[in-house]
Homo-oligomer: A and B are copies of this chain.
Amino acid sequence: MLYLVGLGLSDETDITVKGLEIVKEASRVYLEAYTSILLVDQSVLESYYGRPIVVADREMVESNSDEILRDAQTEDVAFLVVGDPFGATTHTDLVLRARELSIPVRTVPNASILSGIGATGLQLYNFGQTVSMVFFLENWRPSSFYDRVKENRDVGLHTLLLLDIKVKEQSLENMARGRRVYEPPRYMTVGQCARQMLEVEEERGKGVYGPDSLAIGAARVGGKTEKFVAGTLKQLCDADDALGPPLHSLVLLGRRAHELERDYTREFALDKELWDRIWNSDYGKQ
């Protein structure tokens, strides 16, 4: 059996009781560690589970999945995923491959940022599609997120933006020379995301949002040090210190917001007066 086990959002105790039992019994335990991270190290997980863990990087999962699935027709293999197992496309691939090999699959769901973001006080019913924001490079500034955000904003819905993480990346030079030397991990911040959003609005110019649009920066959702900062996109460009360490996410508000959402989120506003003023003029419309 292949078990896809969600680990939740924060630390080693966010695994479910069911998930923990599976991890303790499995023949081999893999940890997918390139689409998201927990706020604790692998060693903490290993000592908590009492089991060694093989960290599965993107290359292993995408090109060498048969090693992960080896003998899973008769043995139990646990594949651990931060958040919920179906957050990333990659795992669909792994299940399809398991089906081809006649390996039964079970999923152990867990919290995902897609529902965890409800802790902002924004209603999950008022979110449109979720989008990803990647680190811009000098010659690569993909702006398809802008079209998706526009679709949400056009009908008044909130947008959750999931922010890029880079782990085990090689510099072009090291890649060219075949050196297995990796860059330090990088996690996009709310400030970086807000700046990229405003740059793209400037380029594309459709007025999907602007510096005064309301948004909420979220850090370490579901963890003990969870933190929310509400403000305009312009304010959020400089709110990284207030938010603290990764992981960050950003929600751009939609105008269809409900007054219960206003009452709840106001608590997080950097400048409550400004928040109220913009809210009252532009938000809460059906």
Contacts from A to B (Cβ < 8 Å): 6, 8-9, 11-18, 20-21, 83-87, 89, 92-93, 95-96, 99, 106-112, 114-116, 118-119, 121, 123-132, 151, 155, 157, 221-222, 224, 260, 263-264, 267
Residues of B near A121 (CB, < 8 A) are: 92, 95
Residue among B93, B110, B132 making CB contact with A111, cutoff 8 Å: B110
Q: A79 to chain B: closest CB distance in Å?
A: 14
Shortest 4 CB-CB distances between A and B: which pairs?
A86-B118, A109-B111, A112-B115, A13-B18
- Cα distance A84–B121 in the bound complex, in angstroms: 13
User: Is chain A's binding surface mostly helix, strand, loop or mixed?
Assistant: mixed
- Whether the Cβ atoms of A118 and B14 lie closer than 8 Å is no
> Given A13-B18, A16-B15, A130-B125, are A264 and B92 also a contact pair (CB < 8 Å)?
yes
User: Which partner residue on chain B sits nearest A221 by CB separation?
Assistant: B109
Residues of B near A124 (CB, < 8 A) are: 86-87, 112, 114, 130
User: Which partner residue on chain B sits nearest A260 by CB separation?
Assistant: B92
Q: List 29 A-B contacts (CB under 8 A).
A: A8-B16, A11-B18, A13-B16, A13-B18, A13-B21, A14-B16, A14-B17, A15-B16, A17-B20, A83-B115, A84-B115, A86-B115, A86-B119, A87-B124, A96-B260, A96-B264, A106-B224, A107-B222, A108-B222, A112-B114, A114-B114, A114-B115, A115-B115, A125-B130, A126-B129, A127-B129, A127-B130, A128-B128, A151-B155
Q: A269 to chain B: closest CB distance in Å?
A: 14
- Cα distance A129–B108 in the bound complex, in angstroms: 24
User: Which partner residue on chain B sits nearest A114 by CB separation?
Assistant: B115
User: Which partner residue on chain B sits nearest A110 by CB separation?
Assistant: B111
- Cα distance A118–B107 in the bound complex, in angstroms: 10
Q: A9-B109, A107-B119, A126-B129 are in contact. List 20 more A-B contacts (CB 8 A).
A: A6-B111, A8-B16, A13-B16, A13-B21, A16-B110, A16-B111, A83-B115, A84-B111, A84-B118, A92-B264, A93-B260, A96-B260, A99-B267, A106-B224, A109-B111, A109-B115, A111-B111, A112-B115, A125-B129, A127-B130
- Cα distance A263–B155 in the bound complex, in angstroms: 31
